[in-house]
Amino acid sequence: MHIYKILFAAVAVCCCLAPLRSGAEEVQEDQFDGFFFQGYDDDGLFVTVPADIGNGVGLVVGAIPSALTAGAFHMFYAPDYQVVEAGGVAMRCFTYPLGFLVGLPFKILKVAFWDAPVALFGGPGEPPGAIAPAAPASQPVEPEKTSR
């Protein structure tokens, strides 16, 4: 009885290591960039990490509907690019809303307690209410001469 367990373990290990030896295809990251909500990318880690968690939850929740959609397209002999696009659209129906909704409370907190005080009272190293001039004071701006 123990020989079967050892044999099964050996087969399982060989099956797991076989793809590593064959040089599996590399996955290009830009294929998957369009699946995720990236509207909060300029807001720092306080907002992007929760949004990325929402993207991950949407990826898990949307996996089955996306597979069913792509499978239906494939079943009716659609070209491969349409099958991939249909699955991607179905996936985006879950990742975009969840990424947006999970990141939104953190975006509101950041705007209310970080961006607004910095805008009102100035950031570190700049005086409150400092406005950068449009042109340096040493160079007066002359109006353009128009010829008629």
Q: What tokens appear for 36 in the block?
A: 């995720």
Specify the pTM: 0.61
Q: What tokens appear for 79 in the block?
A: 């070209």
Instruction: Please report, for the chain, the start and end positions of each structural domain, with discontinuous segments joined by +.
Output: 49-117
pLDDT tens for 36-64 read: 889 998 998 999 999 999 999 999 999 99
**Which residues touch 88 (CB under 8 Å, ≥6 apart)?**
34, 35, 66
* Cα 103 from Cα 37, distance rounded (Å): 10
pLDDT tens for 62-97 read: 999 999 999 999 999 989 888 989 999 999 999 999
pLDDT of residue 35: 84
Collapsing DSSP states into helix, strand and coil, what is residue 38? coil
* Cα 146 from Cα 126, distance rounded (Å): 40
* Cα 13 from Cα 19, distance rounded (Å): 11
